[in-house]
Amino acid sequence: MGCTICSSEKYFEVGTKNRCRIVQCASCGFYYLDPLPTVEKVDEIYGEYWANHKNIGNAKRKIGRFKRKIWRLTKLTSGREFLDIGCNIGFAVEAARRLGCSATGIDLSSEAIAIATDLFPANRFFNVSSQDFVSTGKSFDIIVCSEVIEHLTEVHSFMHSIGCLLKQGGFLYLTTPDAGHFRVPNDFLSWDAVIPPEHTGFFTKKIIKQLFAEHGLRVVYFQPMLKPNIRVVARRVSTACN
């Protein structure tokens, strides 16, 4: 298979971890699993995701943390239609509601959506992919996507769906591990963010910026981070979802 990002078939061998082969694209520098997990494996991982129940005990702290992040986003736009893609058990969605947003969350884990619906019934939650959610015709002023993109096997279709779900001029806040950070160890496989098969791809700021531009999003800023994590705010600047 070719690179998930640029489709180049030239790569450097990185090594094997958790019985998964990891390579680096010789063209764009993207690290990815080769081969990618099967649909069946993805369903197995996220049908009953290990973090779902663990996170319940952290509800107050996580809602407070998301409120601070989302509050800054609400200052960028007068719109209050909010979507969390990969919402897990709903902390960011609830935080957005408390800030006056009309809040929706989607996730591939049916278990996570059931928990979220029970914990935060004032919000809307759907067990659906972003690609399938596009068919509803809904659009949003603010989209949050926290620690999701590194799990995906279809990055470009995912980014296209964000372009469709985000209103013209709307804002995306996305986080993911930063493979280009100075604190990533020289032995890439020893980095604690390399968790195959859950994590299938490893991004840098340069790759994120190029990927966003390809799908009609312009980076507003990258938040400076001491830890190897990308936190980026981008705005939709394309005129249409094709």
What would the DSSP string read from start to end of 135-168?
Answer: GG---EEEEEEES-GGG-S-HHHHHHHHHHHEEE
Number of other CB atoms surrounding residue 86 within 10 Å:
22
Read off the pLDDT band of 51 (50, 70, 90).
Answer: low
pLDDT at 91 over 80: yes
pLDDT at 115 over 70: yes
Enumerate residues 6+ apart whose C-beta is below 8 A from 20. Answer: 33, 196, 197
| Beta carbons of 171 and 226 less than 8 angstroms apart | no
Read off the pLDDT band of 240 (50, 70, 90).
Answer: low
What confidence score (pLDDT) does residue 138 get?
A: 96
Taking 3-state DSSP, the helix, strand and coil percentages for the chain, each rounded to the nearest 5, stand at 35, 25, 40
